[in-house]
Chains A and B, each alone.
Chain A
Amino acid sequence: MQRLSTHQFTMLTAGVLLGTTFMVSGSIVTQAAGRDGWMAVMPAFLMCVPFTWMIFSLVPKYPNQDLVKISEKVLGKWLGKALGLSFSLIMIYFGGLFASQGVDMYNRTVLPLIPHYVLILGVSLITFYLYLSGIEVLARFAEVIFPLVCMALLFIAIFIIPRFERGELFPILQNGITPVLSAALNISPWPFEYVLFLAGLLPFLPAKPKDLKIIKVNFFKALALIIVLSTIVVLVQIMTFGPFETARLTYGLLVLGNMVEISRTIAGIEAVFTLFWTGALTLKAAAFFFAGIWGLQSVFGFKGKKSAIIVGIIFVLIPLLGGKGVNVVVEMAYIDRYIILPFAVLWILLVWGVDLWKHRQKSL
C-alpha cells in the first residue's frame, strides 16, 4: 500500500479543494451577494469542517479502510454497498462533467476552433496516465502543480492592480448579511467534492497515530490557504470589473488573464495561464477518477486494472456524449447542490452517528 507524506496530503487537499473553482467563483458569489461576494468564500468552505472531523474520527477505529468499507461494517453489508456504489457513480459522473467544463474553458477563450473531443481526449490522457502511475504520483503531481497554480493566480492578482476601479468594494454589507449567506450556500457544495474524495483517500493516509494529528492540522492549513486564495481571486475580480460585470462574465478569471498588461509589450497572456489551469483541472479530474475506482474496488472487491479500463471508457464518454458549454455548467451546479451536498452530508452523518451509537451500546 502506498502512503502519502503529510506534506503531500496538504498539497493534494489544497489542490482538490481549489480545483478550478477560481474560474467561476467570482461570478457565482457576486450574482447572489453583489460587491460583498468575497465574504461568502470563507463560510462556504468552513461548512465542510465538521464532516472532515467526523471522517478523521473514524480513521483510528478502522485503520486502512476507506469510508465505503467502513460503512459496510457499520451499516451492514447491503446498505454499505449501495452507498459505496452510489459514491462511485457520483464521483465518476461528476469527474467526467468536470473534465468537460475545463474543456469548455479552452473552447471559449484561447482555442475556440479545436474540436471538443480533441480537448477531452487530451485531458483524459493526462488523467489516465496519472491513474496508471498511482496515487503517489498524483500526490507528487499536486505538490508540483498546486504551487504553480497559486503563483499564477497571485501573478494575475498583482499585475491586474493598474486596472482596479476605485472604490468598487464599498460600501461593505450594504444589504446586510443575508445575501452573503445565500452566496455562501450556493458555493458550499464545492468543499464537499473534496470531502467525498477524502472518504476514498483514507487508506493512503500516513499510518502512524502521530501523523493523524499532523494531518488534521494540515487540513486546516490547506483550507485556510484555499480560503485566502479564493477570496483574493473574487476580490480582484470585483475590484476590476465591479460587481455587476463580475456576475455577468462566465469565466471572469480568464478575462482577467486577458487584461494583464506588463509594460506595453506583453499582453494577452491568458493563453500561458491556461497551461496552469489545465494542471489544476487534471488534478481534480484525476482525483474524482481515483475516488470512483476506489469505491468500485471496495464494493466489488476488484483487483487490478481491468475495472479501471472500463471506468476509463465511461469517464471519456460522459463529456464526449454529454452536453457542452453552459449545459455542463448548469448540470454541474445541479449535481453539486442536489446530489453531492446532501449525499455527503447524509452518508457521513449516518456512518459516524451509527458508529458512535454502536460504541455507546458496547460500552454500556
Chain B
Amino acid sequence: MRKSFFSMMKDLTKRPYTKEIRNYPKTPIDKEWENPISYARIEEELSQSSDIVFRKFLIRGKEEITCILGVVDGLVDKNLLDAYVLRIVMVDATVDPAFKEMTLKNIINSLMDRFTPANEVKKITRMGEAIDAMLAGDAVLFVEQSQEALVISARGWQTRGVNTPQREASIRGPQEAFNETLRTNTSLIRRIIKHPSLRLISMKIGALSNTDVVIAYVENRVSPDVVAEVKRRLNRVKIDGVIAGDILEEFLEDHPYSPFPQILHTERPDIVASSLLEGRVAIIVDGTPSVLIVPVTLPMFMQVNDDYYERAMIVILVRSIRYWGAAIAVLAPSLYIAVTTFHQELLPVTLALSIAGSREATPFSALGEAMLMLIALEVLQEGGLRLPKPIGQTIGIVGALIIGDAAVKASLVSPIMVIVIGLTAVSGYTIPYYSLAIGIRLIRLPLMILAGTMGFFGLGIGLYLILIHLLGLRSFGTPFLSPIAPLRIRAFLQDTLVRAPWWALKEDPDLIDTKHPHSGGRQ
C-alpha cells in the first residue's frame, strides 16, 4: 500500500463509521454461494478439514437413494443425531409404508414432514446456506442427486455454564453472568424482560468468522434512530473475524481517539436488562461473555447495579464516595505536585515543614518522584493482572511493602509521595468500570506534567481541555455528559449524583436525548 503520509493521517482521523467499505478477496467456494446445492462440490471443498464428517447411507424407499449427513465434529450432539436421525431413517422407519413410497423427488419433503423428529428442521436450496448451517453446528442431510438439503438442528457443544460474574462483583444483585454462548446470553435477558416488545435482531459479522451478533432493544422505549444507526454501523464493519465482541467497540464508537469509553460493556444480565428498559440498545456477540451497551453517558460509568438494589439513602453516600474517588484518582498526584512546587501557601505550616524535612534528602523533583512512583504503580498493576492468583498476592506484597518501604528508607522518594500515590491507586479502584478507570490512568500523567510545569494554571488548562473534550463527546448522538450538560434536570436529580427512591422515579427517565445519531449529533 503506497499512500502519502497525509492521506494516511486523513484515513486515521476519520471516524470509523464513516469509512469506505473494505472488500476482501473471495475464495473459490465463496463465489458459488448462491448456486444450487451440489453435494459433490461441497464434499470436495470441505472434506479436507478433519473435523468435518460426512456419513453416507442408503434410504430404501421406492428407489434406493444415497443420503449423506454432514456435521462438524464437536459442534453437534452425537447422541441426538444417532438416536433421532440416523436410527430412525435407517432402522425404525423402514417399516413405515410412507417410507416405502419415497422417491428422489419427494424424499426431502417426506423426510422433513415425517421422519426427522427434531424441533428445528429447515429445507434449503443454496450452497451457502448449507455450508453456513454445517459450520454453525447444525446437521445437514444431503441427498446425493438432489439440489435440496435439510438442516436439522442438533447443536451441542461444550459450554461453560452460567457462572457468577468475575469482574463485576455484586453484593445484593443476581449472581448470574453471561457466558460465551449467544443463545444462553439472549435467554438470560429474555428471562428478565418477558414481553414481546423486547426485540432481538440477528445478523452476522466477519467475513470468515461469520459471527452471530444480536441487537437487542425494547420497542417503543428506544429511539428508532439509534437502532437504525447501530444497524448501519454494524453493517459497515468489514473484518475477517470478530474474535471477541469487544473488537466491535472500536468500530462503533463515535470518537476513536478519546481516552474515555463511549460504549459500556458488562457481563451482568441485570445491567443489560435495565439499560434496555431505559431505551438503550444492547449488542450481544457470540463467543463473548460481555455485552455492549449504547448509547452511554459518563454518569453511567459511575453507577453500579447495587446502587439500585440498595436503599436510596445509602446510595447518596456510596455514589458520592465513588465520585470523590474518581476525583482523587485523577487529581491527587497533580494537586500534590502543584501545591508543593508552586502554591506552598496552601499547605499548613507544620505540614509544609514536615514535607520539606522528608524531601530534604530525596534526589528527585516532586514531579519526577511522582512519575517514578506512578510508573512503578502501573508496572505493579499490569504485572499482577495476568498472574495466577497465588503469585499475584506475592506481587502485591513485594510491590507495596518491600519496594514502597525500601524506597522511602533509601531516601529515593518521600513518604508523603508514597501516601499520595497509594491513595491515588486505591481511589482508582472505586471506579466501577475498568474501561473508564484505564482512561483516567491515561489522563493522569499529562495532568501531572502540566501541574509540575505551570502549577494550578497548568492544571486548570488540562482540566478545562478535558472538560471541553468531554462536553464535545457523543455516544450515538447522546451527549456524553448528559444529564449534567446539557442539563436534564429530572434525570440529573433522579439518577446521577444521587438516586431517587424507586417509587419516586418517573416512568420515562429522560436519560437519552439522542439527536441525529447518524452524524454524531451534528447536523
**Cβ-based interface call for A111 (8 A):** yes
Residue of A nearest to B482 (CB): A140
* Bound Cα distance from A265 to B484, whole angstroms: 33
Q: Are the CB atoms of A271 and B465 closer together than 8 Å?
A: no
Q: Are the CB atoms of A266 and B348 closer together than 8 Å?
A: yes
- The stretch from B39-47, B48-56, B160-168, B450-458 touching chain A is B450-458
Residue of A nearest to B343 (CB): A271
* Bound Cα distance from A271 to B345, whole angstroms: 9
Q: With A122-B461, A269-B346, A278-B460 known to touch, is A140 a contact of B454 (CB < 8 Å)?
A: no
Q: With A111-B342, A111-B454 known to touch, is A144 a contact of B471 (CB < 8 Å)?
A: yes
* Bound Cα distance from A7 to B465, whole angstroms: 23
* Bound Cα distance from A35 to B40, whole angstroms: 103
- Chain A residues near B351: list those with CB within 8 A: 265
Q: How far is the CB of B514 from chain A (nearest CB, A)?
A: 15
* Bound Cα distance from A274 to B457, whole angstroms: 8
**Cβ-based interface call for A43 (8 A):** no
Q: Are the CB atoms of A114 and B457 closer together than 8 Å?
A: yes
Q: How far is the CB of B475 from chain A (nearest CB, A)?
A: 15
- Chain A residues near B457: list those with CB within 8 A: 106, 110-111, 114, 119, 122, 274, 278
Cβ-neighbour of B345 out of A5, A141, A268 (below 8 A): A268
* Bound Cα distance from A2 to B343, whole angstroms: 41
**Cβ-based interface call for B517 (8 A):** no
Main secondary structure of the interface of A (DSSP, over half): helix
- Chain B residues near A139: list those with CB within 8 A: 486
Residue total for B at the interface (Cβ-Cβ under 8 A): 31
- Chain B residues near A144: list those with CB within 8 A: 467, 471, 481, 484-485
Residue of B nearest to A122 (CB): B461
Q: Are the CB atoms of B468 and A125 closer together than 8 Å?
A: no
* Bound Cα distance from A126 to B472, whole angstroms: 13
**Cβ-based interface call for A313 (8 A):** no
Q: How far is the CB of B401 from chain A (nearest CB, A)?
A: 31
Q: Are the CB atoms of B523 and A140 closer together than 8 Å?
A: no
Contact bitstring B479-520, A, C-beta under 8 A = 1, else 0? 101001111010000000000000000000000000000000
Q: Are the CB atoms of A111 and B463 closer together than 8 Å?
A: no
Which B230-252 residues have C-beta < 8 A from chain A?
none
Q: With A111-B455, A133-B471, A140-B479 known to touch, is A7 a contact of B487 (CB < 8 Å)?
A: yes
Q: With A129-B465, A271-B346, A272-B346 known to touch, is A122 a contact of B485 (CB < 8 Å)?
A: no
- Chain A residues near B345: list those with CB within 8 A: 267-268, 271
Q: How far is the CB of A310 from chain B (nearest CB, A)?
A: 22
- Chain A residues near B472: list those with CB within 8 A: 133-134, 137
Q: Are the CB atoms of B465 and A141 closer together than 8 Å?
A: no
Q: Are the CB atoms of A2 and B468 closer together than 8 Å?
A: no
The residues of B with any CB-CB pair to A shorter than 8 Å are 342-343, 345-346, 348, 351, 454-461, 463-465, 467-469, 471-472, 479, 481, 484-487, 489, 522-523
The residues of A with any CB-CB pair to B shorter than 8 Å are 1-2, 5, 7-8, 106, 110-111, 114, 118-119, 122, 125-126, 129-130, 133-134, 137, 139-141, 143-144, 264-269, 271-272, 274-275, 278-279, 282
18 A-B pairs (CB sep. < 8 Å): A110-B457, A114-B457, A118-B454, A122-B457, A122-B461, A126-B465, A129-B465, A129-B469, A133-B468, A134-B522, A137-B472, A141-B468, A141-B471, A267-B348, A268-B345, A268-B346, A269-B346, A274-B460
